[in-house]
Amino acid sequence: MTIGFASPQDAEDAFYDAIDEGAFDTLEALWDPSEEVFSLVPMGAASIGRNAVLTSWQPLFQGGSQIEIEVSHLLWIETEEIAIHLVEERVKLRGQPDQQPPVYATNVYRKRGDGWHLIVHQNSPTPPPPGMLPPQMRMP
């Protein structure tokens, strides 16, 4: 079962609420019902297709969510059918002080007949400070 949301922001709020609350059924419902979806998280393989994406998220929800995510919106690009949100995620273990550097995520939403659905979640760790990468890996 999937749920379409009234706006991309409603879908995004539901995504992060589902993670914070350990509500896998909500997470499952907000992903687009097609196989044209993917998720990529740091140190993990890309999950392509609805079943693979949902399977990759299940371990996070076993025994209830142990993480909290604070989200800051950095950039939105939205059209009538596609929305791309760049966000900063501050992830911490429940009950622990915030000790991790932020993670940057791109969430992409598609509008279907029943509303907005998540089609891409990709995040990456914070880049290292300037001068920390070897010369051959430095960004322009």
- Indicate the pLDDT class of residue 96, thresholds 50, 70 and 90: confident
Q: What is the pLDDT of residue 133?
A: 52
86 vs 64 pLDDT, higher one: 86
- Indicate the pLDDT class of residue 93, thresholds 50, 70 and 90: confident
125 vs 115 pLDDT, higher one: 115
Among 116, 102, 103, 88, smallest CA distance to 32 is for 116
Question: What does the buried/exposed string (b/e) look like for 36-61 if buried means 16 or more CB atoms within 10 Å of the residue's CB?
Answer: ebbbbbeeeeebeebebbbebbeebb
- Indicate the pLDDT class of residue 44, thresholds 50, 70 and 90: confident
Q: What is the pLDDT of residue 64?
A: 65
Positive or negative, the CA dihedral 30, 33, 34, 38 is positive
Q: What is the pLDDT of residue 137?
A: 47
All structural domains of the chain, each given as residue ranges with its CATH number in brackets, are 8-124 (3.10.450.50)
